[in-house]
Amino acid sequence: MQRTVLICDDAIFMRTVLGDILREAGFDVVGEAETGTEAVAKYRELQPDLVTMDIVMPDMGGIDAVREIIKEHPKARIVMCSAMGQQALVVEAIQAGARDFIVKPFQPARVLEAVQRVLG
């Protein structure tokens, strides 16, 4: 069965890039979110197998969104999307319950590795 993914990033460009990588690897991108609030709502609605979460988003940031999602769904599998130099934020996200992280600029191989690890 195809695994479902929710992609959260405020930049369409990044969503497209990630979406392409995941779709090419056989994932079903079931939803996209542009803000943390939207991510939480979409998670509730779609209950995807996997979420990719950008750290910096307008409205509600990625880390708060992780907290909200984990509060309701402790088993949620969330992979953070971070940039170099955001180490402290990534650590915060891990402590909030994110399962793994990938670092921009995205390399398809690394993205898929992280996703496979998380889906175990």
Residues that bind another protein (CB under 8 A): 11-14, 16-17, 82-88, 90-91, 94-95, 100-101, 103-105, 107, 109-110, 113-114, 117, 120
Q: Which is nearer to another protein, 20 or 44 (CB)?
A: 20
| Rounded CA separation 94/53 (Å) | 12
Angle at the Cα of 9 from the Cα atoms of 75 and 113, rounded to 5 degrees: 55
Cβ-based nearer residue to another protein, 23 or 44: 23
- Closest approach, Cβ 18 to another protein, in A, equals 12
Cβ of residue 115: shortest distance to another protein, in angstroms?
10
The runs of H, that is alpha helices, within the chain are 12-24, 36-46, 62-72, 87-96, 108-119
Phi-psi region at 98: left, alpha or beta (left = phi > 0; alpha = psi -120 to 50): beta
- Kindly state the smallest distance separating residue 85's Cβ from another protein, in Å: 4
CB of residue 58 to another protein, shortest distance in Å: 13
